């Protein structure tokens, strides 16, 4: 069995330049991560804040031996954003991840990635994307293990990637929920989404954690944690395993999952170490088992202490 690819997904949240630069510098210098995603997925208005740093970030990551993938917007809404996507699609010597189906046409016949925001649910869809040049396909979060196994077993196709840690994006909209929660219009949002490093928590009327809001994006309150199933996915043919960045110590998180992929730690010890980070998160793996997404078969209803 070849070495599994460990992937750091794109930063979904509106972190300031210093935090983002420090994050990528540490990923370059301190982790055994194979692939690192850069780029803005959620809101095009955020892009100018970090665009000027991207050349240096890309150079440092590549110099450290990391494959760099440029992730694109999950929802392309106007001509300005189309122009931005066209410019990104023309970047040489870097793999582009399409997260909106409109981007796939721009990337046809050159190596690229299909992101998890595009619904790759069956063999025909996967085969179509592979025929158009997709070398890796990140599957949607809600797929059960049976579907992952089926798609991973297709011979001579694209590499399959699955997210194994982090909040799951559930929806994206033209409306900015973060701005609306503060009584602001989207055009004058004041970038209040940046006030919540991991998304703004949303609770039900009886104070039960429900969702998280990140600008235009709605995420799960729970954090996907699939370490119990990594060996099964490896045997099924999944080649890449994605971590979604959050404000906890992602260097430690990456080290734990690298050990898990290399079979040097078991899931129980991995979660024990995650709990020692003193970061409030409830784990979930329900989608993988065809159950409600918030369920977690070993620690249902219990938060990591």
Architecture of domain 5-170+220-299: Alpha-Beta Barrel (3.20)
What pLDDT was estimated at residue 93?
Answer: 86
Residue 189 in marked binding region = yes
Percentage of the chain beyond pLDDT 70 is: 97
Cα–Cα distance for residue pair 39/171, rounded to 1 Å = 19
Cα–Cα distance for residue pair 56/158, rounded to 1 Å = 30
Cα–Cα distance for residue pair 247/261, rounded to 1 Å = 22
Hey, what are 133's tokens?
A: 């040049």
Mean pLDDT of the chain: 93
**184 has pLDDT over 70:** yes
Cα–Cα distance for residue pair 94/219, rounded to 1 Å = 28
The reported pTM is: 0.94
What is the chain's length? 305
Residue 273 in marked binding region = no
What pLDDT was estimated at residue 301?
Answer: 37
Residue 298 — pLDDT band, cuts 50, 70, 90?
low
**303 has pLDDT over 50:** no
CB 97 within 8 A of CB 119: no
Hey, what are 191's tokens?
A: 């970038």
β-pairing verdict for 159-172 and 240-243: parallel
What pLDDT was estimated at residue 157?
Answer: 80
Cα–Cα distance for residue pair 252/268, rounded to 1 Å = 16
Least confidently predicted of 3-12, 30-39, 133-142, 176-185 = 176-185
More confident residue, 299 or 53: 53
């Amino acid at each position: 069995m070849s070495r599994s690819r460990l992937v750091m997904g794109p930063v979904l949240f509106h972190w300031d330049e210093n935090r983002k630069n420090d994050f990528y510098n540490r990923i370059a210098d301190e982790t055994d991560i194979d692939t690192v995603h850069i780029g803005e997925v959620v809101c095009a208005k955020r892009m100018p804040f970090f665009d000027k740093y991207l050349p240096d970030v890309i150079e440092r990551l590549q110099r450290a031996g990391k494959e760099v993938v440029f992730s694109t917007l999950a929802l392309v809404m106007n001509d300005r954003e189309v122009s931005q996507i066209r410019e990104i699609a023309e970047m040489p010597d870097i793999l582009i991840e399409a997260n909106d189906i409109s981007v796939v046409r721009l990337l046809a016949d050159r190596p690229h990635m299909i992101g998890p925001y595009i619904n790759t649910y069956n063999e025909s869809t996967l085969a179509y994307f592979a025929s158009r040049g997709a070398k890796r396909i990140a599957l949607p979060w809600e797929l059960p293990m049976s579907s992952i196994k089926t798609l991973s077993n297709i011979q001579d196709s694209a590499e399959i990637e699955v997210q194994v840690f982090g909040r799951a994006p559930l929806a994206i909209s033209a409306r900015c929920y973060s701005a609306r929660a503060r009584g602001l219009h989207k055009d004058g949002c004041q970038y209040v989404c940046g006030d919540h490093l991991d998304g703004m928590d949303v609770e039900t009327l009886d104070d039960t954690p429900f969702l998280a809001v990140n600008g235009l994006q709605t995420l799960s309150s729970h954090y996907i944690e699939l370490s119990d199933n990594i060996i099964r996915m490896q045997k099924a043919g999944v080649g890449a395993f994605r971590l979604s960045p959050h404000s906890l110590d992602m260097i430690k998180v990456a080290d734990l999952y690298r050990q898990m992929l290399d079979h040097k730690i078991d899931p129980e010890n991995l979660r024990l170490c995650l709990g020692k980070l003193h970061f409030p998160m409830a784990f979930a793996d329900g989608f993988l088992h065809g159950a409600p997404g918030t369920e977690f078969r070993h620690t249902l209803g219990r938060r990591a202490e």
